[in-house]
Amino acid sequence: MAAAALTPWPASAADRTADASDPGPARTTALPPDHRVAAEIRSEFLHGWRGYTQVAWGYDEVRPVSGGRNDFFAPGRTFGLSIVEALDTLYVMGEDAEVARGCDWIEAHFDPAQDADVHVFEAVIRLVGGLLAGYLATGRKRLLDRCREFTDRLLPAFASPTGIPYTHVNLRTGAVSGSSVPLAEVGTNVMEFGLLTRLTGDRRYLDASMRAYRAAMARRTSLGLLGTSIDAETGRWTDPASVAPNPPVDSFYEYLWGGWALLGDRRLRDWYRSLTSAILKHQADTGTGHLWFRQVDPATGRQLGTSQSELASFYAGLLGKGGDPRHARAYYESWTAVLDRYPVLPEGIDYRTLAATDTGNQLRPEYVNSSFDLWRLTRDPYYKRTAYRYFTGMRDHLRVPGGYTIAADVTASPMRLGDLTPAYWFAENPKYLYLIFADSPRFDYRTGVLSTEGKILKGLRRPGR
């Protein structure tokens, strides 16, 4: 089936007059020439990468302040997570020697059969997706073999009575645990599993994903909404509130559109459309002058809350890709208003006041993921300027001699820092930024498709090979 290419929007009146309509300080941020910004982003990425390679090579994550290491999945077990996450970012930046070094490590040391209870959702988006993107970038068949062996060890999680995956599986024994499953964990696998099916001809992966999606979609309320967590054994909602597009449901919706874009399955597109229109109808709240999404009882539409997680800011880009430029821009502007107020985004806010309800910053990529998506669609300089401001905020506040770190409190002055470079930083923030400014010949800007973890699952180019 043909997959969907990105359809750029014609420049709207708002786009053409972007300077006049820009809210807040983003308008006045002076923007150096693109090639200079791209070079700086690349150099900052390499600063973080060196921080990891010098003290934590072969471990999952680096603690760049103390020089320590972090096992992401299970204590005493490593998957070289930051290496796997970084491969296609290194590739688009032209760091071929580092790509080769990372692939060599994976081929020699990545162990898909460790005695570890792994979080299925994280294992799929980070490791399955990372190995697939690494394979697409390099053509090294052993990465695909490792990916397949690893995914085979995740499949027991999907053998529940409903098809909804248990949250955890032991890679060695296949023992499963965790039957109350957040919605994102139900569906955030169809892109990776669908691609793996395509590359191997083995239908088990895609079939497992589609069965899980069907199980959740069959449990929509009469308003067309879904809950937050569902029991993998009984199919009953264990937390029935609709909190879209916040975690822990966020990428369930993202993968409906992403699955359609990558695999061309119309069921996924149609489910995306019907859920999105229900969310816009029952959850959109413009009472503050900005577009936000309230939490509601999915059976009645009664409002339950007004919190918004930074992770939800990806939704501006998703609305854009799904063909709704008006709401996409509005939601992006809402988050830009938060960035007007804080040097880097706090983890959570109450959208009625924009007060931080969680003052940390986990080096999150979601806002700049939307900048990238919306810039690709519109080529509107507004998204470049706001992306640049995001970049300078990160560079000026979260850079340390050992790399880049999370923050404990973005409202403190000076900012109170934490001590971790989350592995997703190597997959996401610098990649989105670089692709916006670099005009990279290694990425097809028109047809490229990225996963929720920033893995380029379609559109990697290998010029000259």
Check binding of 364 to ligand DMJ (CB under 6 A).
yes
Rounded CA-CA distance 137/290 in Å is 40
Q: How far is the CB of 427 from ligand DMJ (least distance, A)?
A: 8
Tell me the residue number closest to ligand DMJ, measured at CB: 452
Q: How far is the CB of 449 from ligand DMJ (least distance, A)?
A: 15
Q: Could you list the beta-strand ranges (E) of 351-452.
A: 355-358, 399-400, 403-404, 407-409, 416-417, 449-450
Q: Which is nearer to ligand DMJ, 165 or 365 (CB)?
A: 365
Q: Which residues contact 423 (CB under 8 A, 6 or more apart)?
A: 60, 61, 72, 81, 82, 84, 85, 126
Q: Which residues contact 386 (CB under 8 A, 6 or more apart)?
A: 26, 332, 336, 339, 371
Q: Which is nearer to ligand DMJ, 42 or 364 (CB)?
A: 364
Q: How far is the CB of 81 from ligand DMJ (least distance, A)?
A: 11
Q: How far is the CB of 201 from ligand DMJ (least distance, A)?
A: 28
State phi, psi for 322 to the nearest 5 degrees.
-75, 0
Q: Which is nearer to ligand DMJ, 221 or 307 (CB)?
A: 307
Q: Which is nearer to ligand DMJ, 15 or 347 (CB)?
A: 347
Q: Which is nearer to ligand DMJ, 226 or 423 (CB)?
A: 423
Q: Nearest to residue 190, comparing CAs of 247, 259, 135?
A: 259
Q: How far is the CB of 188 from ligand DMJ (least distance, A)?
A: 7
Q: How far is the CB of 275 from ligand DMJ (least distance, A)?
A: 17
Side-chain-side CA neighbours of 436 within 13 Å: the count stands at 33
Q: Nearest to residue 270, comparing CAs of 214, 209, 215, 229?
A: 214
Binding residue for ligand DMJ, selected from 170, 452, 457, 458, defined by CB under 6 A = 452
Q: Which is nearer to ligand DMJ, 311 or 328 (CB)?
A: 311
Q: How far is the CB of 412 from ligand DMJ (least distance, A)?
A: 21
Q: Which is nearer to ligand DMJ, 265 or 347 (CB)?
A: 347
For residue 399, list its beta bridge partners.
Answer: 404
Q: Which residues contact 319 (CB under 8 A, 6 or more apart)?
A: 276, 327, 328, 331
Q: How far is the CB of 63 from ligand DMJ (least distance, A)?
A: 18
Q: Which is nearer to ligand DMJ, 283 or 361 (CB)?
A: 361
Q: Which is nearer to ligand DMJ, 188 or 221 (CB)?
A: 188
Q: Which is nearer to ligand DMJ, 265 or 310 (CB)?
A: 310
Q: How far is the CB of 229 from ligand DMJ (least distance, A)?
A: 16
Q: 36-39 long-range CB contacts below 8 Å, 24 or more apart?
A: 37/388, 37/391, 37/437, 38/434, 38/437, 38/438, 38/439
Check binding of 372 to ligand DMJ (CB under 6 A).
no
- Cα-to-chain-centroid distance, residue 207: 23
What dihedral do alpha carbons 193, 196, 197, 202 form, nearest 10°? -110
Do 403 and 421 meet the contact criterion of CB atoms below 8 Å apart?
yes
Which residues from 409-428 bind ligand DMJ, rule CB under 6 A? 424
Q: How far is the CB of 373 from ligand DMJ (least distance, A)?
A: 13
State phi, psi for 332 to the nearest 5 degrees.
-65, -40
For Cα atoms 234, 240, 242, give the angle at the middle one, nearest 5 degrees: 135
Q: How far is the CB of 165 from ligand DMJ (least distance, A)?
A: 16
Which residues from 206-265 bind ligand DMJ, rule CB under 6 A? 251
Rounded CA-CA distance 267/435 in Å is 30
Q: Which is nearer to ligand DMJ, 134 or 365 (CB)?
A: 365
Which residues from 87-106 bind ligand DMJ, rule CB under 6 A? none
Check binding of 86 to ligand DMJ (CB under 6 A).
no
State the number of binding residues for ligand DMJ (CB under 6 A).
8
Which residues from 110-139 bind ligand DMJ, rule CB under 6 A? 125
Task: Measure the N-to-C terminal CA separation of the chain; round to a whole number of Å.
Answer: 27
Q: Which is nearer to ligand DMJ, 221 or 429 (CB)?
A: 429
Tokens 């053409």 found at: 16
Which residues from 310-339 bind ligand DMJ, rule CB under 6 A? 311
Q: 152-157 long-range CB contacts below 8 Å, 24 or more apart?
A: 153/112, 153/113, 154/118, 154/120, 154/123, 154/124, 154/128, 155/204, 155/205, 155/208, 157/120
Q: Could you list the beta-strand ranges (E) of 196-335.
A: 229-231, 237-239, 284-285, 292-293, 295-296, 303-305, 307-309
Binding residue for ligand DMJ, selected from 402, 453, 455, 456, defined by CB under 6 A = 453
Q: How far is the CB of 21 from ligand DMJ (least distance, A)?
A: 29
Q: Would you state the structure tokens that stand for residue 90, as one six-digit string?
A: 């290194």
The one-letter code for the residue type at 193 is: F
Residues that bind ligand DMJ (CB under 6 A): 125, 251, 311, 364-365, 424, 452-453
